[in-house]
A and B are shown apart, each in its own frame.
Chain A
Amino acid sequence: MTEEKKPEERKKRRTATEAASKIGAMSKAMTLGVAQAKEEGKPIAYTFICCCYDEIIRAMDIVPHWVENYAGICGAKRDAQRFLERAGAESFSRSLCTYVLCGLGFDAWREELGAMPPDPPWGGQVKPDMMLGSGQILCDPRNKWFQAAQHYMPDVPVYEIGLPWPPYEYDYDYRQVQDYYVKYIAEQLRGLVVFLEKQTGKKMDWERLSELVDLTDRTWNLIWETYELRRAVPCPMGTGDAMNTMVPIVFMMATQQAYDFFRELNEELKRKIANKEGEIPDEKYRLIWGGGLPSWFALTDFNYFNSKGAVFPVETTYRMVEAIYNFDIDLTKVSDPLEHIAWRWLKYWTCWYDKARKRPGSHPDVERLIQYIEDYKIDGIVMHEAFSCRTWHVGLIWQLNLLKKVYKDMPSLILESDIVDISSYNEADTRARIDAFIDTLEAVKSKKR
């Protein structure tokens, strides 16, 4: 494909909820809004999801430009290949994360032209005023992405923070070291605030920050309660929709818009449950999306699952919240907003540790799967090995095997493709695997009858 040619967009995925159907427009408005903000002279920052700085940048009126989201948009619109090829031409390894490659390819091209590449999806990836790294155990490329982007934008400063959490040890209570972690994270965030004040020439409004921290807590609780409604049989909303409703979770946190969105979704799900209205009329199999980012260009595969009687009431991917009130710490008593954010972060990542320690040989990631399998009455597990995403790739099969060892054997399906790179995907093969998996689910169900 030449750089000028654009492929045809694909048929959109059919959504189960009205709320999810609005996400496309919300996401488009958010992305186009960045270009608008740029024109208005507002400060723009390249940002990562799960960054811990949502409230901080919102409090300082910095406009986030979510680079992973933009790569996902290119993938969903089946228009990422030209940017991946551009990154390839710059000699970036194809084994890197394809979000990174898409973003770097776009940056390299835009900076060479001094203008947006031709016909960029949703207005394109705007040149930022700063890049805010957020390296963490979760995703290793995020430590280097913006440093590499600086090759093309040497005038754009990068600020990098680290967001660790205590590793799980079956014979060691992480609480013994949690204070050190919280102190470290809070210091990282304090350094970021200083950097942002310098870049914007504006002082942090600490009262406003505290209000946004509170709003985020309330949004977390609301999201958790809303997703718990999906336990209902029939399930009113599946993972296909959750791959849409992740947008307010990871790109709009600390905004009233995110809170209002989930209030609306909550009401819609309650309505559907009262009317016994499931995602599909005849629900036969309940599945968990047990790990892996989705192929953004192939979300209609969820509809294919639906056509076979399968629904996904729950997923581990992008369920980036827990109920704050279930944590073993009263966050309302933490007065410093940065320490509050640090505690929330730490408790989120460690909240399955105690459960895991109670089951010999288990692990927090596996305990989470087990809890969801039981709470949501799950019949089988689907995972996606996206070849370019080491973060999710590492340990998926191990988790599956451990689950079967410490809990019970159950049908599982491993899909193989990528998040953005469509050349890794074969629809016929994928659907043949899904067909075979459905046969397996049916065979196991028949055996139980």
Chain B
Amino acid sequence: MKSQYFAGVDIGSTMTKVVIMNRAILASVIGPTGPEHRKLANRVMEEALTRASLSFDDITYVVATGYGRINVPFADKQITEISCHARGVSYLLPEVRTVIDIGGQDCKGIKLSNGRVVDFVMNDRCAAGTGRFLEVTAEGLGVKLDDMGRLSLGAKNRVEIGSTCTVFAAQEVVSKLSEGVPLPDIIAGLHEAIATRIYGMVRRLKIEREVALTGGGAKNIGLVRALEAKLGYPVLVPPEPLLTGAIGAALLGKDIVKKAAESGVPLPRSERRLTEATIFT
């Protein structure tokens, strides 16, 4: 019997992630989604296929997720990021009951029971509490986003960031800088502000251990520490927290194929083309 391969494509606001799996992860690629790359998710997919030494026709089933999932011409099915993150985290960290996903433009809390979603909350209304908050403030501080976490660990006297609005917070940090406040203290204050927002939202779910952090925010050690302080215990972070949605998408594709085979019902699939997305909302 021919080997089966499954692809998960997670098109987030900032990054596009592709994972190819059979029994394990064969290849994964993370590429930018930004304005120029929005319609080029197919390139990320091609890169993943190259790394897995496969052709597109070898892929049995492709599931797209993320906010850009609707316009992926090479996907067989679209599934929400909530379900995909849940599936991905349960695969990587089966003991997890609560997932906090901090993405580029939204933040989600997902409650799991036996690997299934039982409740969720989302913030997609306000940049505060998302990766965008840190992007904007990092720019104001003249610091690379990737360095924010490490720098904040050197804080001696964390400042209070009063503005809950991202735009005003960016102004506030610049004025703190001009007052001579050390950079680590300001960044630690930013992490505290974003952690407070996220924790306030996710608390609606009645948070249960173990808690996993995913998304770009989980790569920021300062933010991870700030959230752990709110929770009062350590959180789990997958080896590559950006990939959980794509992994979940691939696994859900595998589930769909398996279920179809077992039931004898033809596989639901669309006419897929490995081409650019022509319309991207």
Residues of A near any B CB (own CB < 8 A): 397, 400-401, 404, 409, 411-412, 414, 416, 426, 428-429, 432-433, 435-437, 439-440, 443-444, 446-447
The answer, among A416, A428, A435, for a CB contact under 8 Å with B281, is A428
Within 8 A of A (CB), among B18-72: 67
A439 touches B82 (CB 8 A): yes
**What is the distance, in angstroms, from B29's C-beta to the closest C-beta of chain A?**
24
Contacts of A428 in B (CB 8 A): 67, 281
**Interface pick from B111-119, B150-158, B168-176, B181-189:** B111-119
A440 touches B124 (CB 8 A): no
Contacts of A397 in B (CB 8 A): 204
What is the CA–CA distance of A444 and B83 in the complex, to the nearest angstrom? 12
Q: Does B237 contact A (CB under 8 A)?
A: no
What is the CA–CA distance of A230 and B81 in the complex, to the nearest angstrom? 34
Q: Does B274 contact A (CB under 8 A)?
A: no
Interface centre among A411, A435, A444 (most CB of B within 10 A): A435
Contacts of B14 in A (CB 8 A): none
Contacts of B121 in A (CB 8 A): 414
What is the CA–CA distance of A440 and B112 in the complex, to the nearest angstrom? 10
**What is the distance, in angstroms, from B181's C-beta to the closest C-beta of chain A?**
32
A447 touches B113 (CB 8 A): yes
What is the CA–CA distance of A401 and B119 in the complex, to the nearest angstrom? 12
A436 touches B120 (CB 8 A): yes
Q: For chains A and B in complex, what number of residue pairs have CB atoms within 8 angstroms?
A: 54
Residues of B near any A CB (own CB < 8 A): 67, 79-83, 106, 113-114, 116-122, 124-125, 204, 206, 281
What is the CA–CA distance of A97 and B130 in the complex, to the nearest angstrom? 28
* 16 contacts across the A-B interface (CB closer than 8 A): A397-B204, A401-B204, A411-B119, A416-B125, A429-B106, A432-B81, A432-B124, A435-B80, A439-B79, A439-B83, A440-B120, A443-B83, A444-B118, A447-B113, A447-B114, A447-B116
Q: A429-B125, A432-B124, A443-B83 are in contact. List 19 more A-B contacts (CB 8 A).
A: A400-B204, A401-B204, A404-B206, A409-B119, A411-B118, A412-B119, A432-B81, A435-B80, A436-B81, A436-B82, A436-B83, A439-B117, A440-B82, A440-B118, A440-B120, A443-B116, A443-B117, A444-B116, A447-B114
What is the CA–CA distance of A82 and B83 in the complex, to the nearest angstrom? 40
**Residue on B nearest A412 in the bound complex, by CB:** B119
What is the CA–CA distance of A245 and B167 in the complex, to the nearest angstrom? 43
Contacts of B67 in A (CB 8 A): 428, 432
Contacts of B82 in A (CB 8 A): 436, 439-440
**Residue on B nearest A441 in the bound complex, by CB:** B117
B-side binding surface: helix, strand, loop or mixed?
mixed
Contacts of A443 in B (CB 8 A): 83, 116-118
A440 touches B281 (CB 8 A): no
Contacts of A436 in B (CB 8 A): 80-83, 117, 120, 122
**Residue on A nearest B124 in the bound complex, by CB:** A429
What is the CA–CA distance of A325 and B165 in the complex, to the nearest angstrom? 52
What is the CA–CA distance of A436 and B79 in the complex, to the nearest angstrom? 8
**Residue on B nearest A443 in the bound complex, by CB:** B116
A426 touches B124 (CB 8 A): yes
Contacts of B281 in A (CB 8 A): 428
**What is the distance, in angstroms, from A414's C-beta to the closest C-beta of chain B?**
7
What is the CA–CA distance of A409 and B114 in the complex, to the nearest angstrom? 15
Q: A428-B281, A439-B80 are in contact. Are A433 and B113 (CB under 8 A)?
A: no
**Residue on B nearest A444 in the bound complex, by CB:** B118
Contacts of A432 in B (CB 8 A): 67, 80-81, 124
Interface centre among A411, A414, A433, A439 (most CB of B within 10 A): A439
**Residue on A nearest B204 in the bound complex, by CB:** A397
Interface centre among A409, A428, A443 (most CB of B within 10 A): A443
